[in-house]
Amino acid sequence: MDERVQKLLSQWGIASRRQAEQMILAGRVQLNGAIVQLGQKANPEIDRITVDGVLMQPAQRPKLIYLLLHKPVGVLSTCTDPWHRPTVLDLLPSSLKEGHGIHPVGRLDEDSTGALLLTNDGALTFYLTHPRHHIPKTYEVWVEGYPAEAVLQEWRQGVLLADRLTLPTQVTVLKRHPARKTLLQVILTEGRNRQIRRVAAQLGHPVLSLHRTAIGPIQLQDPSALLLASGQYRPLKDAEISFLKTQLDLLSEGETVTREEYSR
């Protein structure tokens, strides 16, 4: 059956769907000897697809893997780093990080900690990082000072960043510390670059630390009160995987990321 080439590459664990589209735009993917155009379809049973000259074999597609990682501070949310800094894949055993196409879904800043999904399901990665769709993410954020209610309300309603308002945000005060700092719970439904840090600084209360506790219903601390330790990972539960896969129904088969969306 014909499928879009970017979808095939993500299904085989070659790259996330977004990364696959970038590879196609860069001219790195060929179909039967010709450079693939974005949106072009192929039948993996009869067509010859190569990436950087290497033939892709659909029969070699790895089993789909879904993990929740507790990212520590100082670790990069990427697969490789040219300066050899530690990455999230370095926290996995070699049996997982090699030959499976596992990659982080989105990212947390180097100085941020907490819940991060890892998978080789490119279609799922495409959905979770697509700017048109939103899964709430929950953070615990220490900020400088004691934000006034008017400031918190401004944050909740939306703040202008780069000429575009942020979406409405849930912001709740959890604790005020005598050392002039406040612990906030922040629930976002979008993921613009360093959004919480930028908004907090703009409102006059810079972030001291940022920790993501949950992605949708997927939590670092599950209902049985077991907390995933920093640097550790666990497979997602069946119910968690089911939740994520139901979200894919919201993404139509014909959707394609544009060049403009890559620049966001």
Question: What's the number of CA atoms in the CB half-sphere (13 Å) around residue 151?
Answer: 15
Beta-carbon contacts of 84 under 8 Å, excluding residues fewer than 6 positions away, are: none
What the block records as the tokens of 233 is: 């990972």
Phi, psi of 201 (to 5 degrees): -65, -40
What the block records as the tokens of 121 is: 């399901």
What the block records as the tokens of 91 is: 């926290």
Nearest-5° Cα angle at 44, 43 to 48: 100
Catalytic residue (one of 2, 81, 90, 109): 109
109 part of the active site: yes
Active site residues: 109
